[in-house]
Amino acid sequence: MQEPNYMRKRVVITGMGALTPIGYTHTDFWAAVRRGKCGVAPITSYDASKQAVKLAAEVRFDTETLVPERDARKMDRFTLLAVIAAREALADSGIDAGNTDLTRAGVLIASGIGGLTTIAREHARGEERGYDRVSPFFIPMSIANMAAGRVAIESGFLGSCSCVVTACSGGTHAVGEGMRAIRHGYADVMLCGGAEACVSPLAVGGFTSMKALYEGRDPARASVPFDKERRGFVLGEGAGMLMLEELGHAKARGARIYAELVGFGDSCDAYHITAPDPSADGAARALANAIRDAGLTPADIGYINAHGTSTPLNDKCETLAIHRVFGEETQVPVSSTKSMTGHLLGAAGAVEAIVCVNAVREGFLPPNINLREPDPECRLNIITGRGENAGVRYALSDSLGFGGHNGAVVFAKYDEEAFL
């Protein structure tokens, strides 16, 4: 029996997959980010005429071209999106049974809400026909771990298979915990990410009743992180997947390496079920922990992909967290790509990790689109316009979730000679 190696191993990204409101592959997604494309539009997946919220960031993609109907009807949409994005990441990485011990290949996929759409549909069916007539696939379709389970079945990965459910920080936690599994010798490969698909009357109604969503009609003013006029987030859907791999394993098989994952930090506010701690202590500790874990200082970070939900409380508290770690006068470039994608909940951190990977790889920092009137309470160096070309070495992404869950990850431009 192989004993775990507790020496810190280097972890790199060798594959990516994305299915988002602005791009249906990871390359198309990044191209859309570079263009500053807005994915917010009127809801099409159901009739929203009787609800206050009319806008969302949907994935308008014919999934039947990739997953036959006979298989798709046995999956909730969040699982379906996860499977498609994971297939892309797997193919992109070149991992297979010929170059990898699949007993040391794991899956870790987050979802904040899981199969809520299936739950609502089957409840309605039970009320109408009797509860013994609900779908026999109801339970496996609705449970949040099924995205990870389906991806493991498709990939043949036989190592650890788990699901992170930490609300809107889930995708970041999945990527960070996957890194830890490889770093400490429990796995050679981890397929990590998040998936969410709950643009539905019940989810939209729930968020509306708690005054969390934007209720206006203008897509260009809907998701506007750090803007003085922000009035709530826009619900989005999608999936993001990253293939994490131990550096020596990747080099041995001649893999293409996109970037290096060098730090992960997390914390809990232990404060409130939905509101962030106004002191921003927990969020600040997550940022500081990730930077410390990477062996860096705040001055080393060249870009922050902020959680930036476009809610009054989040953006203000996140600004305070950044100031506490980086200093009141920090000029580190910041943007929230939720201005383009809306808020993908448990998938957000994984999709935004892909943004950071590309930022350090290509030296481009994406804009915070549609920012018109910066909030003086969010005094940060927000990237606007068409983005910035900047050769940054380290990028940080942070996520903050209901329940006080905080997470942050740090990515580095890959340098074969750098040992952190």
Give the catalytic positions in this structure: 168, 307, 343
Instruction: Judge whether 77 and 10 are in contact, CB under 8 Å.
Output: no
Q: Alpha-carbon torsion 130, 135, 140, 144, what sign? A: negative
Residue type (1 letter), 146: M
Tokens coding 84: 């498609």
Residue with tokens 């909940």: 345
Give me 151's structure tokens. Answer: 């991806």
Which residues are within 8 A (CB) of 272 and not within 5 positions of it... i.e. 6 or more apart? 404
Cα–Cα distance, 382 to 303 (Å, whole number): 10
| Strand ranges across the sheet with 394-401 | 161-162, 105-110, 189-196, 238-246, 11-19, 259-268, 405-412, 394-401, 303-305, 333-335, 381-382
DSSP annotation of 220 reads G
